[in-house]
Amino acid sequence: MLLLYGSVFAALVLSAVAESQFGQCGGTGWSGDTTCPSGWVCAALNAHYSQCVPGISSVASTTASQSATRATTTSTAPTAAPTVGPSHATGKTPALGWNSWNAYACDINEDKILAAANDFVSLGLAKAGYQYVNIDDCWSVKTRDASTGRIIPDPDKFPSGISGVASQVHSLGLKFGIYSDAGTQTCAGYPASLGNEELDAATFAEWGVDYLKYDNCNVPANWSDASTPPGGDWYNSNSAIRYRQMTAALNATGRPFHFNLCIWGNANVWDWGARVGHSWRMSGDASASWSYITSIITTNVQHLDSIDFYSHNDMDMMEIGNGDLTIQEQRTHFAAWAFFKSPILLGTDLGQLNSTQLAIITNPELLAFHQDTTVGTPARPFTPTSSAPTTSPPEFYSGRSVKGTHVFIINTGNATSKTFDFAKVPGLGSGSYKLHDMWTGKDLGTFSRSHTSTVDTHDTAAFLVTPARHGADVDEE
């Protein structure tokens, strides 16, 4: 659901999307219907998402009338946008939790949300550190309250109201998140918050909301940007200002909100996101596919300088438990999100996870790296040997934690033997080192100069590497 820039067709599609009903029709990993109603076409908004919009002729015929009324139905960018940053009472480390979208899309209700919250407790997720239970799109009715202007929770889906659900989530020692959009409607066509930031933020705070996912659909033409804003200043672009307005509104409530900018990697968000929120989406919607996992890793490694405390590139919600990912691919999915310090928001029916999948998502050592409060930076690629080939995405990464140096190896191909020289790992030398397997929690022994591992196709190895004590026996490779 990415914003398109530049072309006349892009502007027409954006205008049509603002008036359309939600309907995905294609994208990487999409296995649903690829046809659209008569008079509509399937428009590719990004590599991972295509949506049904009116045919180009019908779009063109309505554009003039829409643009004539838009000035009276949407606000224009302010001359002095707020500059207040996000709360630092939350969001130091990446969010750990669950979101309803990948599991249920619009088919949500109170029972499903509370079932996820209770699963946090019964499955050991809360004990492992997971805390956010987040509702995505489609939680409200289609119109605001005529007298108060507030968004109205759907009484059929949420008979206890959002505040009632939030209270029940809080009673379990967990936190509660909600969804809105920095446009005129959400991606599914429900009331959004552009122009209503203060009212909606105050409403969310009153309901006891702790986390806001803020999407990027249905953006009016006067709030969009050219491919590059004046002076290349993306912080002062229309895109950033739409999010900055919500930051100020959330802060004005006095309640700490974890603020996620679901801007799909637009507007160079990695350059200004930390001034506005705690995390920001780096791409369109995830899919349960190896191609998405490798694609988002490739994207993310270009912007690792953006990641630190209160500042996290969001690789999107998890697909563990969905689709046809192998166990090895699910291990890589989790490990990469952990060592890149992306938010980890599970996105499946938690009660359907098997013991192997639960072991992956509750791995204590990978979660400790992810949630380290001493070191906020992620693992980075390194060249493992002098003769190592270049791969995309890279296969070898190293990072620091309070425990020491870690090495992560993603096998993107078929060859299962993976070697790295200790001298090539940043911060290490050419001596002898103890290796500890972060997946199993077992020590592997002491090795000199290098280490060779067997890593299954599409799997990820994870090691803690610490200096060997003087005189320790060395294990042969």
Are 325 and 319 in contact, with CB atoms under 8 Å apart? yes
Among candidate residues 285, 314, 316, 459, the one labeled active-site is 285
Query: How many Å apart are CA 41 and CA 239, to the nearest integer?
Result: 27
Three-state secondary structure string covering 426-453 = CCCCCCEEEEEECCCCEEEEEEECEEEE
Among candidate residues 119, 200, 215, 314, the one labeled active-site is 215
Give CA separation, 346 vs 8, 115, 138, 191, 355, in Å.
38, 14, 19, 25, 15
308 is catalytic: no
User: Whose structure tokens read 């990695």?
Assistant: 270
107 is catalytic: no
Query: How many Å apart are CA 68 and CA 423, to the nearest integer?
Result: 65
Are 134 and 166 in contact, with CB atoms under 8 Å apart? no
Quote the tokens at residue 111: 């029972």
Query: How many Å apart are CA 187 and CA 216, to the nearest integer?
Result: 8
Query: How many Å apart are CA 212 and CA 260, to the nearest integer?
Result: 6
Are 53 and 23 in contact, with CB atoms under 8 Å apart? no
Active site residues: 215, 285
